[in-house]
Structure 1
Amino acid sequence: MKLISWNVNGIRAAVKKGFEDFFTESDADFFCLQETKLQEGQIDLKFPGYQSYWNYADRKGYSGTAIFTKHTPLSVRYGIDQDEHNHEGRAITLEYNDFYLVTVYTPNSKQELARLEYRIKWEHDLTDYLVALNEQKPVILCGDLNVAHTEIDLKNPKNNRNNPGFSDDERHCFSYLLDQGFTDSFRYFNPDLTGAYSWWSYRFNARANNAGWRIDYFVVSDKLKDKMTSTAIHKDVMGSDHCPVALEIDL
């Protein structure tokens, strides 16, 4: 089973930059999007054999998530069971017989960590939500989690210490999630690999110089980790300031 996750930074813009070609070539069972930046009815994007589920932010042109899937779910949930978090279109959960698939677009803490307090509340509530799901059946979480977990997950850790996405609080929250029975799939296969990033600033030729951050993840329940067969970061796929990440798992 193949899964793709991609923060497209505006799906309408990504479609103009080859999104549909990559989608078709990928032939994924699940293709998850973050930061779709649109409202219902603003795009007619369909692929043969796929159903799609969209979660839109109340605010126009902001945030948003989507999942394209070849497999009809048992149930679909939008948000994470806390109303304060459910107005920005940040989460979708699909339920299947043997697992849950959750895609999320984690809030950015903003410059000078102006939104850190809300971000940490989101982290705690998301973790509680995932733990509750995991008590019922295993979970596959994917998306832009807006945190570089360790120093090898970004190019310049010393200069970015306590910047948004690399604050001690955000990193601690990610560690805590993993401690609740989850595995970072990429690090499972590549525990010490450096230079593997999924996001690059549009400034300073960051992508050309590979001065990036790994902030896009597949995180799976520990009980599924032995079923994973591979992960990938598709750094050469353009169309967004993020690139797609992938997981293959034998379910």
Structure 2
Amino acid sequence: MRLVSWNVAGIRACIKKGLPDFLAKIDADVFCMQEVKAEMNQIDFHPEGYKEYLYPAKRKGYSGTMIYSKTEPQSIQYGYGESEYDDEGRSITAEFKDFYLVTTYVPNVKRDLSRLESRMHFEDTFKAYLKKLEEKKPVILCGDLNVAHNEIDIYNARSNRGHAGFTDEERAKFTDLLASGFVDTFRKLHPDTVRYSWWSYIGHARDNNVGWRLDYFVVSESLFPKVKESYIYDDVFGSDHCPVGLEI
């Protein structure tokens, strides 16, 4: 089974930049997207053979998550019970026979860190939600988690420490999530590999591979033995993020 996640930074723009071709080529069983920035009546891409689940933000043109799935989930849950983040369409949970799949777009703390306190609340409540799901079935979490966990996950760690996405607080919360029984699949399988999934549009960052690894597939420890490979498709364009994938 192949799962793919991509922060498309606006699905309508990404459709014009090759999203349909990528989805056809990769032939994912489940394709998750973040930062969709659209409502269903604004999306004119409906791939054959996929069920579609969209959770738009209440604020138009902002945030939002979406799933295309070849298999109809046993259940779908939009949000996780915290209105501040649910109003922004930040997560969808799809229940399958053997696991829960949760795709999320984690809140950015903003350049001035003005949303750091809120982000900490999100991290705590969202981890509690994942652990509650895990009482029933293993969990696969994917999406733009908006944190470069370790120094290997960011081009210039020293100069970026304390900046949004690389604060000690954000990194510690990711450490806490892993310590609670989850595995960062790419880093576990490729402990010394330097690969990124996001590049600024400023200063030819992508051309020079000045990037950050912000996009993840994280799984319950009990599910990790079934993981065959974890991918970063950094040769795929169409957004300031590239897709990531998991094969189980």
Q: Is the counterpart of residue 175 in structure 1 residue 175 in structure 2? A: yes
Matches within 5 A, 1:62-141: 62-141=62-141
Deviation at 1:45, TM superposition (A): 1.8
Instruction: Describe how 1:1-16 pairs up with structure 2 within 5 A.
Output: 1-16=1-16
Matched, 1:39 2:57: no
The aligned counterpart of 2:166 is 166
Residue aligning to 2:58: 58
Higher mean alpha-carbon deviation, 74-83 vs 162-171, is at 74-83
TM-superposition CA deviations, 1:182-211 (whole Å, max 9, x none): 0000011101212x0000000011000000
Q: TM-score, normalised by structure 1?
A: 0.97
Deviations 1:69-114 (A, max 9, x none): 0111111000112223210000000011210000000000001211
Post-superposition CA distance 1:146-202 (Å, at most 9, x none) = 0000000000000000100000000000000111110000011101212x0000000
Identity %: 56
Q: Which residue in the other structure is 2:155 paired with?
A: 155
Residue matched to 1:190: 190
Any idea what SS the aligned residue of 1:125 has?
A: helix
Q: 1:227 aligned to 2:226? A: yes
How far 1:120 moved relative to its partner?
A: 0.8
The aligned counterpart of 2:212 is 213
Task: Tell me which amino acid in the other structure corresponds to 2:107.
Answer: P
AA partner of residue 50 (structure 1): Y
Distance 2:89 2:45 in 1: 18
Taking the aligned partners of 1:40 and 1:78, their CA distance within structure 2 comes to: 15
Tell me which residue corresponds to 1:242: 241
Is the contact made by 2:153 and 2:213 (CA closer than 8 Å) also made in structure 1?
A: yes
**Does 41-50 or 22-31 show the bigger shift?**
41-50
1:44 CA drift (Å):
2.4
| Alignment partners' CA distance in 1, 2:202 and 2:45 | 30
Q: Distance in 2 between matches of 1:140 and 1:38?
A: 25
Q: Secondary structure at the match of 2:131?
A: helix
Q: What is the CA RMSD across the aligned residues, in angstroms? A: 0.7
1:225 maps to a residue whose letter is F
Query: Is the contact made by 2:58 and 2:87 (CA closer than 8 Å) also made in structure 1?
Result: yes
SS in 2 for 1:71: coil
* Contact 2:15–2:45 under 8 Å retained in 1: no
Alpha-carbon separation, structure 1, partners of 2:228 and 2:238: 27
CA distance in 1, matches of 2:136, 2:81: 16
Following the alignment from structure 1 to structure 2, what is the Cα–Cα distance between the partners of residues 140 and 213? 22
Q: Which moves more between the two structures, 75-84 or 182-191?
A: 75-84
Q: C-alpha distance in 2, partners of 1:71/1:120? A: 34
- Alpha-carbon distance between aligned partners in 2 of 1:40 and 1:23, rounded to the nearest angstrom: 18
| Partner SS for 1:124 | helix
Amino acid aligned to 1:174: F
Report the Cα offset of residue 236 of structure 1: 0.9
SS at match of 2:71: coil
Question: Equivalents in 1 of 2:76, 2:193: separation in Å?
Answer: 36
Name the SS for the 2:112 alignment partner.
Answer: helix
